[in-house]
Amino acid sequence: MDIREIQNLIKFVSKAEVSEVKYKTKDFEITIKTPLAGNEVAAVLPQQVYHTAAPVAAPVTPVAPVAQPIATESAAKTEETTNDDSKFVTIKSPMIGTFYRKPAPDKDAFVSVGDEVTEGKVVCVIEAMKLFNQIEAEVKGKIVKILVDDATPVEYDQPLFLVDPA
């Protein structure tokens, strides 16, 4: 398999919106994994509506005033969350991979909401390329919120936990 065939396979996987494709021949094997498209769109859509649609569409079309309160309401919720969360420290993902709260399916979660953590305590693992990387807390405090569901894909620098350092 040459580089063009690999590139065509990658394009096919992205257009098909599948999460994983494995291709294996007698002397070659390739696995292509992608995050699910639905999760990304849901995370990006409110920001797009707030920043572009509400200011531009309001004076132009009669339909926009109906959509504007939704954007304003969404923005108000975002601002409230930001103001409430500003006193907390965020533990972010240092890599792209799959987030796991437990070391194994039959084990207990590393941390839960309300648990005290210290610097260096393992709070989760992120699997990247079949390697499980332990993610440690960088601050001492109490877990206030877990921002990612178990066994879901995460991006580099994506917030995972909120910690109250008080």
- Report the CATH number at residue 140: 2.40.50.100
The pLDDT confidence band at residue 36, using thresholds 50, 70 and 90, is: low
Task: Please check whether residue 10 lies inside any domain of the structure.
Answer: yes
Task: Please check whether residue 95 lies inside any domain of the structure.
Answer: yes
Question: Which residues does 119 contact at the CB level (< 8 Å), separation at least 6?
Answer: 136, 137, 138, 139, 140
Task: Please check whether residue 58 lies inside any domain of the structure.
Answer: no
Res 85: pLDDT = 66
Q: How far is the first Cα of the chain from the last one, in angstroms, to the nearest whole number?
A: 56
Q: Residue 112 sits in which domain range?
A: 86-165
Task: Please check whether residue 90 lies inside any domain of the structure.
Answer: yes
Q: Which of 40-49, 83-92, 114-123 is predicted most confidently?
A: 114-123
Task: Please check whether residue 100 lies inside any domain of the structure.
Answer: yes
Of residues 41 and 119, more confidence is placed in: 119
Of residues 52 and 159, more confidence is placed in: 159
